[in-house]
């Protein structure tokens, strides 16, 4: 969830608790969600749904959306680990530990 995200700052100080922008797929294109995120100071970047009457983006922010395939590919690779795909752990810290272990194994496999 957005409450658990902490974005490190470039300099000193506490990390930000909200990201500057949220990159989502087409299913998240809703006016109420855009307004809710804008009230929190978060920019929503997602392609428009078909048939949307008011176009809000001119295509420039979607350049960031094009890099989203790397994230989707990483989640697909993590799906190869059955323990992460079928969540057996009831406790969140234990699941997070296996998630970090899966990320470590993916990183080591790359090099």
Residue 20 located in a structural domain = yes
Instruction: Tell me the per-residue pLDDT of 27-71, one tens digit each, with 9 for 90 and over.
Output: 888 889 889 999 988 888 888 777 776 666 666 667 777 777 888
Q: 0.75 cut: is pTM over it?
A: no
Residue 10 located in a structural domain = yes
The residue with greater pLDDT, 80 or 53, is 80
Residue 13 located in a structural domain = yes
Q: Which domain holds residue 38?
A: 2-58
Q: How many structural domains compose the chain? A: 1
Residue 11 located in a structural domain = yes
- pLDDT for 104: 93
Residue 68 located in a structural domain = no
| Orientation angle between helical segments 92-110 and 69-78, nearest 10 degrees | 110
Residue 7 located in a structural domain = yes
> In this structure, are residues 35 and 13 in contact, taking their beta carbons and an 8 Å threshold?
no
Residue 109 located in a structural domain = no
């Amino acid at each position: 969830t957005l409450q658990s995200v902490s974005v490190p700052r470039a300099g000193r100080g506490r990390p930000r608790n909200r990201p500057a922008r949220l990159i989502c797929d087409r299913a998240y294109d809703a006016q109420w969600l855009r307004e809710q995120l804008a009230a929190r100071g978060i920019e929503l970047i997602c392609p428009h749904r078909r048939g949307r009457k008011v176009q809000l983006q001119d295509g420039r922010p979607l350049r960031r959306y094009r890099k989203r395939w790397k994230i989707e590919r990483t989640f697909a690779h993590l799906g190869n680990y059955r323990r992460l795909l079928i969540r057996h752990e009831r406790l969140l810290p234990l699941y997070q530990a296996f998630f970090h272990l899966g990320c470590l194994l993916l990183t080591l496999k790359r090099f």
